[in-house]
Amino acid sequence: MIAATNENLEKAVAQGKFRRDLFYRLDVFRINVPALRDRPGGTTLLTGYFVSQFNTLYQKDVKRVSPESYRCLRHYSWPGNVRELKNVIQRAILIAPGEELTADLIPARIREAAGMSKDSDSQMFPIRLGMNLAAVEKECIRMTLASTGGNKKKAAAILGISRRALYNKINRYRLS
C-alpha cells in the first residue's frame, strides 16, 4: 500500500487528530518528497517531461523552452505544486505556434512573479506578425477547439462558420 499526505502525521498523532495504530501500519518505508517550490531544479526536469508528453498528445513539435520561460518557471512559488506546472505546460504547448515555448505563452501571474512585464495578457494568442493567413486561421481554429474541449458545434458557432466548413478546415489543416 502506498499512502501520501501533505500533513505532518507524527504531529497529528500527538494532537490526537490521527489514529496512532493507523500511523504505525502506514509508517513502514517513508519517502519525503518536498513541494515543487522547495526544489527549483525539479521545475526544469518536469517541464522537459511535460513538453515531451504534450508534444505527443497534441502532435506538436516544440523542441526547446526559452531561457526566459525557464526563469519564469523557476521564480514562481507553485502553490498548486506539480499539478499546476503540468497544466501551465499543457496550455503553453497547446497554443505554441512553433518550435519554442516562449515566456509569452506562460500565464501573466507566473511571468509577474519573475519580474517580467505585467502588461502582457495571460490569454495572449500565438499569432505573430508575419504569419501567413492560413497559419493564422489554423491557430485560431486549434485554440477555439481547445477552448471548447473539442466540441465542434460550439467551435463553429464561436468562429461564425458552419459545422461543415469547420470540418473542411480541420481536414485541410490536419487538426483531427
pLDDT at 123: 42
Mean pLDDT of all residues belonging to the chain:
88
pTM of the model: 0.59
The pair phi, psi for residue 65, each rounded to 5°, is -115, 130
- Amino acid letter, 29: F
Residue 125 has pLDDT above 60, yes or no: no
Assign 120 a pLDDT band (cuts: 50, 70, 90).
very low
pLDDT reported for residue 24: 93
DSSP the chain: -----SS-HHHHHHTTSS-HHHHHHHTTS------GGG-HHHHHHHHHHHHHHHHHHHT----EE-HHHHHHHHHS--TTHHHHHHHHHHHHHHH--SSEE-GGGS-HHHHHHTT--SSS-TT--S--TT--HHHHHHHHHHHHHHHTTT-HHHHHHHHTS-HHHHHHHHHHHT--
Q: What is the mean pLDDT of residues 10-28?
A: 95
Task: Indicate the burial class of 7 (C-beta count within 10 angstroms; 0-12, 13-18, 19 or more).
Answer: exposed
Between 125 and 167, where is the model more confident?
167
What structural domains does the chain harbor?
1-32 (no CATH), 35-126 (1.10.8.60), 131-176 (1.10.10.60)
For the stretch 74-118, pLDDT in tens is 888 899 999 999 999 999 999 999 999 999 999 999 988 877 654
Which of 43-57, 106-120, 148-162 is most confident?
43-57
